[in-house]
Amino acid sequence: MNRIRKNNWYALLLLAGITFLSTSCSSNTEKISMEINKGWQFSEVTKNDWHPATIPGEVHTDLLKNKMIPDPFYRDNEKKLVWIEKKDWEYKTTFNVAPEFFKKKNNLLVFDGLDTYATVYINGIEVLKTNNMFRQWTADVKQNLKPDNNELRIVFQSAQNVVDSLAKKDLPYVIPDNPRCYVRKAQYHFGWDWGPKFTTCGIWKAVRLEAFDEKEEEKEYVAPHKYELVQEKDTAGASFYFKIDDKAVYMKGANYIPSDAFLSRMTNAEYDKVIATAKDANMNMLRIWGGGIYESDYFYDLCDKNGIYVWQDFMFAGTMVPGDKDFFDNVKEEVKYQVKRLRHHPSIVVWCGNNEIDEAFKNWGWQKQFKMNKKDSIRLWSDYKRLFQDSIPKWVKEVDPSRPYVSSSPLFGWGKKESIKQGDSHYWGTWWGLEDVEVTLKKTGRFVSEYGMQAMPNYSTTERITTEEDRHLYSDVLKAHQKAGKGFNKLNSYIHRYFKDTTNVKTWSVKDYTYITQCLQYYSFKNIIGIHRSKEPYNMGTLLWQLNDCWPVASWSITDYYNRQPKAAWYAVKEAYRDDVKPVVDLMRPINMKLENPQVTFKVDGNNIILKATKAAKFVWIDIKGYTGRLSDNYFDLKAGEEKTIAIQSPISKPQITITSLFDVLSRNK
């Protein structure tokens, strides 16, 4: 009879869409759990207008799935959806609880991720308040549960409204450079120079009920490797390189940002694509940038499996921090939780306190811009040091004593001569400083952890997010997908120097402009990487900015948001990072080359495209309409009379192929 009752409960749970899981260690530590991921609804607070919700998710994706808003990425819809972040939202569902749960001493409601300011109610009783997107939150709800029809309701406050209120409350004291500093939430959600401003809220990770008598004892952590960050003084300054198991490793890789503005869209299949773009480009390191998130376990599993080392920032980027006890206590719990969660991954080789805050405070002119008095400036720097130089390294060491820690990346700003002599370097003389690519010959750091050149997204992406009327330089819609300050001006400055006079650039087609910008990015990364690698062992790392995009945008990414397709530069990086080739540097600029019509011809043979040119061809681009895979090579040079075979990664029937070379585009835009 008891078995029948138990099976009936399991059946009811399955019918209700609740997954029941059981894990056992021993009789007194057996833990049972069930996910609460079905039957969710959401509404704007006070509206009582309920619609189906998907968990994990966020309010923007739920609104989109219910056709209550247009595609946030299409045209200039971003600015039309600002109202969402100013509202409070609530989510609710009902669930049943099997009798086995009530037999355990502890019934915990567990949230792996709530974004961000949330109040949780069980059957109308408040059981939890949260204020950190990066922490796991639990509430003992045994006294609040009944066997069936339990209501779980979560009310989310607008993070934007909260941080605005906190910043206003602190006046006249100002924490530069944005009120986002007050909240432990993915900083890129507040907008970046490559990302949109979608300040989300929602249940972004799993929800479950756990029951147990006694907590499992925490296993002693033993480090699968020996990690060492070597910083030794030498005649030039000081080294900066990684030794893994006593072997010095030259790091070749990229910076990684969150791969979607809406994190719930990142399925395991999407992560497979992203990590493949790094692995197949011969990378061995990714730097997880501090304005995003601590990534999913699956992400790090893939890095472990594919031999990709991880530089892990803590989630602080480009802004000073509050110094109050509540903030520090909150960060302490975040750090200890995340380090414990991730420390078993052998791919992680260093913890880093933050991205660019040290450099920003010293070099970005905040004191003048925000009219700081001396007392406030001293206080800000004191709070900074207390968090990143004293507290976080201590908290990390308590739970992961084996890995090195650095307080900030970089150590010195790119305008300082010390930046190329010691520490890691973010060298932005190219792009932000408008210096020539060749400046790298004189200004290569010991470990260059950021540098880059922009390009437009693939033209197929521009077609997807625009109408015909938008496809001209510089339409309002194109400008809405270019977030970098004076981004088009900077691109045109480099195009003018390296490829083509840009005096009449506004008359170019967007397709031709896209092609030229991608050739520019290809040329820049090929040469900068070649120079970096030629300076080994003085230089022991080159991490380009950036691997990926979180939406369709003109950016420094070498891959496109849609389908993670390569941009031209991905093919350059793949070649430049090969272990079996000597670094190649071009110092002839394409603008100085005398190009003739190469008259490229091609034929298709199965999964191969065979090309031939009568004259030398530069940056030969194979475009296959509707194709979302990769080619074995693209944007390559072709010698006169040379035959080159390109493999198609995934077969396509009757491919519609267009071949473009630099000569074609330049001759169209005289």
Percent of the chain with pLDDT over 70: 96
Confidence of residue 582 (pLDDT cuts 50, 70, 90): confident
For residue 391, count CB atoms less than 10 angstroms from its CB and return exposed for 0-12, middle for 13-18, buried for 19 or more. Answer: middle
Share the mean pLDDT of the chain: 94
pLDDT at 247 over 50: yes
pLDDT at 27 over 60: no
- The CB-side HSE value for 117 (13 A sphere, CA atoms) comes to 14
Count the residues in the chain. 670
User: Is 73 within 8 Å of 552 (Cβ atoms)?
Assistant: yes
Which of 533, 449, 461, 426 lies closest to 256, judged by CA? 449
Q: Which long-range contacts (CB under 8 A, 24 or more apart) does 369-375 make?
A: 369/176, 369/177, 370/174, 370/176, 370/177, 372/174, 372/176
Q: How far is CA 152 from CA 48, 92, 119, in A?
A: 16, 5, 11
Per-residue DSSP letter, 582: -
pLDDT tens profile 70-129: 999 999 999 999 999 999 999 999 999 999 999 999 999 999 999 999 999 999 999 999
For residue 465, count CB atoms less than 10 angstroms from its CB and return exposed for 0-12, middle for 13-18, buried for 19 or more. Answer: buried
Interacting residues of 246 by C-beta distance below 8 A, sequence separation 6+ = 226, 228
Identity of residue 317: A
Residues 11-40: what's their mean pLDDT?
A: 64
Alpha helix stretches (DSSP H) within 364-419 = 366-369, 374-385, 392-399
Architecture, CATH, for domain 593-668: Sandwich (2.60)
Interacting residues of 568 by C-beta distance below 8 A, sequence separation 6+ = 455, 518, 519, 521, 522, 619, 621, 634, 635
- Per the listing, tokens 């585009």 go with 665
Residues 445-465: what's their mean pLDDT?
A: 98
pLDDT at 569 over 80: yes
Residues 150-160: what's their mean pLDDT?
A: 98
Query: CATH class for domain 251-576?
Result: alpha beta
- Per the listing, tokens 């080619």 go with 631
Confidence of residue 28 (pLDDT cuts 50, 70, 90): low
- Distance CA(349)–CA(313), nearest Å, equals 11
Domain ranges of the chain: 2-158+199-212, 251-576, 593-668
pLDDT tens profile 602-638: 999 989 999 999 999 999 999 999 999 899 999 999 9
pLDDT at 505 over 90: yes
* Helices (runs of H) and strands (runs of E) counted in the chain: 18, 30
State the pairing for strand pair 117-122/150-157.
Answer: antiparallel
pLDDT tens profile 344-374: 999 999 999 999 999 999 999 999 999 999 9
pLDDT at 14 over 50: no
pLDDT at 194 over 50: yes
For residue 287, count CB atoms less than 10 angstroms from its CB and return exposed for 0-12, middle for 13-18, buried for 19 or more. Answer: buried
User: Three-state secondary structure along 511-534?
Assistant: HHHHHHHHHHHHHHHHHHHHHHHH
The values of phi and psi at residue 277, to 5°, are: -65, -30
Q: What is the pLDDT of residue 372?
A: 93
Q: Does domain 2-158+199-212 have CATH number 3.20.20.70?
A: no
- 274: which 2 tokens? 């992203």
Identity of residue 292: G
Confidence of residue 29 (pLDDT cuts 50, 70, 90): low
Q: What is the pLDDT of residue 19?
A: 47
E-assigned strands of 391-431? 405-406, 424-426
List 644's β-bridge partners, or say none: 611
- Distance CA(220)–CA(344), nearest Å, equals 11
